[in-house]
Amino acid sequence: MFVDEIDVFVKGGDGGAGCVSFRREKYVPYGGPDGGDGGDGGSIWLEAAPQLTTLLDFHYRRHYHAERGTHGQGSNRHGASGADLVLKVPLGTVVTDRDTGEPLGDLTTPGQRVLAIRGSRGGRGNARFATSTNQAPRRADLGRPGPERWLHLELKLLADVGVIGFPNAGKSTLVSRLSAAKPKIADYPFTTLEPTLGIVRADDDRSFVIADLPGLIPGAADGKGLGHQFLRHTERTRLLLHMLDLDPMTGRDPLDDLRVIDAELAAYSAELAGRPQIIVANKADLPDAATNREQVERHCAAHGLPLFVISAITGCGLTELVRGIAARLASLSVPEAQPTSPAAGTGRPGAPGR
């Protein structure tokens, strides 16, 4: 099961209590207070792991608690701090506070970490309260309870190329031919219910990541069909591969399909609508596809759109397509990763401290 959006509950570790104790040794009168401090509670971190592709693990467990600090002891022995808890998430995970909407971080590089919640400080032992006028204090601080919050995790795939188009346009077949990915393929709508990533080798020195994304239908920007579940994953792609179906038996006009999907992209995001596109006319091997092919060629020539005519089934035109994609990606600047929010390094506003 593919999970790309979920809420999780995190709680920092409780601080250990300080100790009230007095030094008692033979021949040492008035030994004084020697109660140690309690240990700090553990914190919870989110770490980007390239081997993960879904938030499925969080579907089965939603609540996470960091280890608490141990209590202080006599002889000025401080309690041990609780261990930090590190939760692994896929690359491309955006972390926000569910209740406030505050962005906490965007995990786009392997090993990158975001502080989800900070543990509480341990309480002070009575040795901390000794003064010249109060040499035998009998007070100590209790450990503070750990802070807690709900986080919203949203996965946005990190792919160089996103393949878009109407259902049954041949997107999954194309990705399976260009890479080792094995998406589900069938001749009914919405075969692809979850994105599939594949790595395409252009030559000895160049490769790129391609994503087979679920099909769009009119009204997707308003949530119809797969709606935002699809559009979310187009936001990080550098190049869109817009597949058109040349098969006349579908009863659809490929140019109408092109306009409809471009309109859905514009309705969702103006920036997304301006993303570079390559038009791919698929199923050119069909004997009755010539008319639709000529219409698409005239349209692309008139509007200056790059066009590749292929057959994903037979493999015709795929070599030229891969070279064209690699060349187009080389001409595009690589987007910089978003910096981690300052709030992510300090925990929730008002996080407890000494």
Q: Which residue has the tokens 């490929």?
A: 254
Residue 346: inside a domain:
no
Residue 349: inside a domain:
no
Both 295 and 327 in one domain: the answer is yes
Q: Which among 105, 123, 155 is the end of a domain?
A: 155
Both 111 and 40 in one domain: the answer is yes
Both 62 and 76 in one domain: the answer is yes
Both 148 and 61 in one domain: the answer is yes
Q: What is the CATH number of the domain that holds 302?
A: 3.40.50.300
Both 165 and 138 in one domain: the answer is no
Both 87 and 233 in one domain: the answer is no
Residue 337: inside a domain:
no
Residue 78: inside a domain:
yes
Q: Which among 120, 155, 190 is the end of a domain?
A: 155
Residue 349's Cβ-count burial label (10 Å; 0-12, 13-18, 19+) is exposed
Q: List the one residue out of 267, 223, 228, 263 whose CA is nearest residue 242.
A: 263
Residue 192: inside a domain:
yes
Distance between CA atoms of residues 150 and 245, nearest Å: 44
Both 171 and 284 in one domain: the answer is yes
Q: Which residues contact 282 (CB under 8 A, 6 or more apart)?
A: 169, 170, 174, 243, 244, 245, 246, 310, 311, 312
The pLDDT score that the predictor gives to residue 29 is 78
The pTM assigned to this predicted structure is 0.70
- Positive or negative, the CA dihedral 315, 316, 319, 320 is negative
Domain encompassing residue 254: 161-331
Both 137 and 172 in one domain: the answer is no
Q: What is the CATH number of the domain that holds 144?
A: 2.70.210.12
Q: List the one residue out of 253, 1, 42 whose CA is nearest residue 261.
A: 253
Q: How many domains does the chain have?
A: 2
Both 89 and 3 in one domain: the answer is yes
Q: β-strand 113-117 against 44-48: which pairing, if any?
A: antiparallel
Q: List the one residue out of 352, 264, 354 whose CA is nearest residue 13.
A: 352
**Sheet bearing 5-11, strands edge to edge:** 63-65, 5-11, 148-155, 93-97, 103-107
Interhelix angle for 254-268 vs 290-303, to 10°? 40
Both 237 and 97 in one domain: the answer is no
Residue 58: inside a domain:
yes
Mean pLDDT for each 10-residue chunk of the chain (354 residues)?
Answer: 84 97 85 94 95 87 96 95 96 94 93 96 95 92 95 87 86 85 51 68 84 64 51 80 91 90 83 89 91 94 95 93 92 55 39 40
Residue 186: inside a domain:
yes
Both 167 and 151 in one domain: the answer is no
Q: Which among 155, 172, 196 is the end of a domain?
A: 155
Number of helices (H), then strands (E), in the chain: 7, 14
Residue 354: inside a domain:
no
* Runs of H (alpha helix) within 83-223: 171-178
Both 142 and 264 in one domain: the answer is no
The pLDDT score that the predictor gives to residue 183 is 53
